[in-house]
Structure 1
Amino acid sequence: MHTQNVNVKTAAQESTGRCDSNLTTSQFTDLFFWVLAASEGEPQPAIFTPPENATELTLINDECPDYISVWVVDGRPVAAAMPLDNFYRVISSSLTH
């Protein structure tokens, strides 16, 4: 698994929130919520283990202790999480294609 971090001072600042994939903070947040919507109604694993070949994109907000992550495989988002809250959502169907 590979990790890419996005450091931002606040969620509203667009100019400081970029990751290696050139996502703005707003685009990253949209991607996170897209994964939540896409995983709705799908069976969720009891324990989350990122796919071995996944890249983790992480958005860190310096104003609070939490962060959010999205895992991508071959350019497709497959999971999203707020790890410190033990909240994970997996698009199960995307892992089998």
Structure 2
Amino acid sequence: MHTRNVNVKTAAQESSERCESEITAEQIVDLFCWVMAATEGELQPLIFEPPVGSYELSLINENCIDYLSVWILDGYPVAAAAPVDNFFRTITPVSIN
């Protein structure tokens, strides 16, 4: 797992959110929401481990201790989390026979 932090200005002037990478805070939120929708109703592992070979994008709100993370593997979002709340969701890979 690799984590990179880069300051990003969002559309809201009062926002003090930061995110990693060259993508915007809104894009990280969109990826987070996409993983949430894709995993709705799916059983989740009891213990979260970032997928091997993935990297983490984090959106940090400097006004509180909470943050959102999305893990990317081969260009696709595969997991999302609100780690402070101990909330994790992973997309279960489909096995092909």
The TM-score, its normalising length taken from structure 2, stands at 0.81
SS in 1 for 2:60: strand
After TM superposition, which residue ranges in structure 1, 4 or more long, deviate above 4 angstroms? 6-11
TM-score relative to the length of structure 1: 0.81
Q: Structure 1 residues 10 and 18 mapped into 2: Cα distance closer, same or farther (>3 Å)?
A: same
* Higher-Rg member (1/2): 2
User: Which residue of structure 1 aligns with residue 3 of structure 2?
Assistant: 3
User: Are 1:8 and 1:61, in contact at CA under 8 Å, matched by a contact in 2?
Assistant: no
Equivalence for 2:20: 19
Name the one with the larger helix percent. Answer: 1
The number of aligned residues is 94
User: Aligned Cα RMSD in Å?
Assistant: 2.6
Q: Equivalent residue for 1:75?
A: 75
For residues 1-97 of structure 1, the aligned pairs below 5 Å read 1-7=1-7, 12-13=12-13, 17=18, 19-20=20-21, 22-93=22-93
Q: Distance in 2 between matches of 1:85 and 1:9?
A: 25
Determine what percentage of the aligned residue pairs are the same residue: 57
